Chains A and B, each alone.
Chain A
Amino acid sequence: MKFDLDAVHVEGECADSALATRVLRALPRDVPVTHLPDARGATKPVSGARDPFGAGKRRLVIARRKTPFLIPCPAGSSKFACCGYLVLTLASNCPMDCSYCFLQEYLADNPSFQVYANYTDSFDELDRLADNARGRSFRVGTGELADSLAFDSLTAISRDLINFFAARENLTLELKTKTDEIGNLLAMDPRGRVLVSWTLSPDAVYRSSEHLTASPAARIAAARAVLDAGYRVAFHFDPLIAYPDAERDYLLLIDDLLDNVPPKQISFISMGGLRMTPRLRGAARSRFPGDPMLCGEDVLASDGRFRTFTPLRLSLYRTLAERFRKVGAEIPAYLCMEPASVHEHVFGAAPSRPATIGERLARG
């Protein structure tokens, strides 16, 4: 995908790293590159910018990550029935600009687009995880604080990741994306250990809210291509947005998907209604005041987030789940950031424990 970068900052000790070398080689010549002894200051909001978060997206910082790479999913909570997802943070922020993105709040204080030069250190953490829990399987994703593939044409991190995971029996890598940046993937053999997942939204949401992303049709075509190249695929209907005609549009989207990807070859689907803390809602509406997708029939729910009022949200979940059920492929499915009672309403059964769900999704 096309990057609009205003500047690149490289932390001193990373200057000779393989990542910095690759990125600087791939950058357009007119992007100024600065070397800094400590890049922490460069990750902060650009002072005086009208849109500091947007400006942060155009400032690439190559730095050393000093905290663990592997963390439990930050969206997890005892209030919700979770999926046991583990997050591997190799980058922070994203060159795309979805109006509803939670990073607008989560990274408000350090919005620069960071990529960690010492990312291979994360492999030690992953090996420790696998060694300490032999016999268990884990699903590990890089698409929580960044899109997994949006920057892959610059960094080529996916190649090292795929090589690593392809050799680990009980670890499954999930690359989550809204792009069609699959060039590096097609040149690799994932040996069944890598899952590529796409967030899918109808065209109306894509056009209104998902700026600089690949179109839904391009995402589905990319999914078909990686499936043919030996990858597993999954799809996230998240955020599910309850705009007028949403039901019709989501069903058409599912039809398009199933026309291209056989249901039996879908590893899982997830759904999650649009949810926004008051701070995120304020930030999103301020950055995208004309986006009707941010003005749904949302009310303040008991978890302190604005969500589409419950019967409407659950009705949409039910409709999508029913459509997938009708194709008869028993595609594993889960809901993101919803309590167990909502799972029961939608799927007719209580959810399993997060670790159990995590294992099931990892094994496929």
Chain B
Amino acid sequence: MNDTQAPVAVLSKVEKSYQLDAVSVPVIRGVDVLIRPAHFTVLLGPSGSGKTTLLNMLGCIDRPDVGNVMVAGNDVNAMTDDELSDFRAKHIGFIFQNFNLLPVLSAYENIEYPLVLAGASAKVRGDRVPKLLEAVGLTDKARNLPGQLSGGQRQRVAIARALARKPKLVIADEPTANLDSKTGAAILSLMRHMQQRHQISFVFSSHDRTVIGAADDTIFLKDGLIQAVRRKRHDPEGEPLLGAEADE
């Protein structure tokens, strides 16, 4: 994999405000972001810096007030709600801080659900889900409901669910925040492993600077503005990326 491939997501001059009673509070103030394909990108910054808002826009569950969002080569601003739903189902995986597994479905069924939504056949599901369960080390917990799993196990299921449809982009909002440091490190390691194995772009937010070491690209956010972008180059033969310099 090299950096010459088209970026998986591009945010151009994006602005976003939230209404707090009668006051409009700007959260993102005209930022440009480029997510490289098959890279591990971390959004870093203190609380309220706009990490989650940026992630939501990258994940196509929120729209900017101003600016464009291109994901997987598609202008998501122009999409209807249903088109966005289908787009998310096809191209984007989500990993949440609170795992957000469906409590009435077993680990197996939670992983299978995105495939069901996509209309995948029983054979395809039967092939893919056990492999994912094995990849996250939960083959023996396949029939367990989320309530019967530990936090780390739940997050493993969430990772497998996010990867079920082989998305181009996985959005992870503080995926280790609710885990102890050891489990968090393991989850981070697993995500890194899966990202490399499946060649998927991972973007996750954190305000923990210890995760920087795990990232290919790190975007520092503060008060809705990008303070710095640090990129590690995996492919020395690749061309410089648009809109970002290494160690800006």
Chains A and B form a bound pair: no
